[in-house]
A and B are shown apart, each in its own frame.
Chain A
Amino acid sequence: MIEAVPVVSLPVRRSAASRMGSAAAADATGASVDQLTETYQAHYRSLLRLAALLLDDLSSCEDVVQEAFIRVHAARRRVREPEKTLAYLRQTVVNLSRSTLRRRILGLRVLPKPMPDMASAEEGAYDALERDQLRTALRGLQRRQREVLVLRYYADLTEAQVAEVLGVSVGSVKAYGSRGLAALRVLMEGSHD
């Protein structure tokens, strides 16, 4: 996978060709694995952190982001548009996070492992406290509000982009955002006392 085959130069295989046999698949794999590594290095960490804000246990986050990578990269059409890959990944992470939460609500998943406390020496106790407060507060939000805030202010998407990811109108994004901010503030202040 070190041989850096430029992805673009590959003969385009349409979906019909994908049935033709594994030989065709094999030579395309080398190139896309390279691309996979690239995408991984560029986006995995930030998507994992995005998931960490939407979910509350690290192993679910890993599962969700890995599954998103697998899905997006298994669909060749999607990786053929590198400029859209991140958007696909992000969308998938959000959707999978939702279904993970839903499963958990339904009680199908055993109690999640808590996020490991990674408060290190260089991180002050105050920071750790603040971080935990924020996580707790985020969890107290409505799911939509949390998604909007995280996509808007962590992933730095525009309102229009958030609307697209969540499949709602821009107006709704604005509404969820402002209500979410207000609710978050209340929750954060509540936890100060």
Chain B
Amino acid sequence: MKSKDPAKHTHARGSCECRKGITRRGFMTRLGVGAAGVAASGALFPQTAAAKEMEMIKAGDMAKITLRVNGREHTLLAEPRWTLLYVIREKLGLTGSKIGCERGECGACTVLIDNIPRYACMTLAVEARGAEITTVEGLMEGEDLGPVQQAFLEEDAFQCGYCTPGQVVAAEGHLRADPDPTDDEVLRGMSGNLCRCGAYPHIFKAVRSAAEKRRRGKGGEG
């Protein structure tokens, strides 16, 4: 389970793009995105980027959009009705963010938009242009788990694990805004994420512990 298991390190430290969320599935998807990106980059869109962003996208049409996810820019063709969650999972292959209720109630899809936790299922991808988007994949510190991830692991803060990426990202966002929360603030900060297994006491402990880890600045060594 530990992230530092040497058996998992099949490539040299520093050379991998796991941190950027590249998975086999993502790699395959990206090939498709790349092709679409090339097709869209020519004479179809001659205007400047800013002017383009202001233009009407017709129903059913796709437009070239650029999203900055986990520190990396992705340009792709997207329909305005695509949610950020759909694009992150199905077009960028970052499947850490989960599809739960798809109605803004469960929190499994939580991502950070400019450091602030939001539901990716209730955000149109076109609305996230120009923002810094962070998914659970972006919380890795190189090959190591980030402090919140590590705390969830140590505190056994999950059973089935489906809600965990959303819980971790919500906790991270909450702690970025409030590094030293009270118990009440932790409960409130985490209230937008449901856990169907009911691992709440452990999740609560994990967030407390993550706050400490982050303050100590010793991410993966807890």
Are A and B interaction partners?
no
- Interface, chain B (partner A; CB < 8 A): none
- Interface, chain A (partner B; CB < 8 A): none
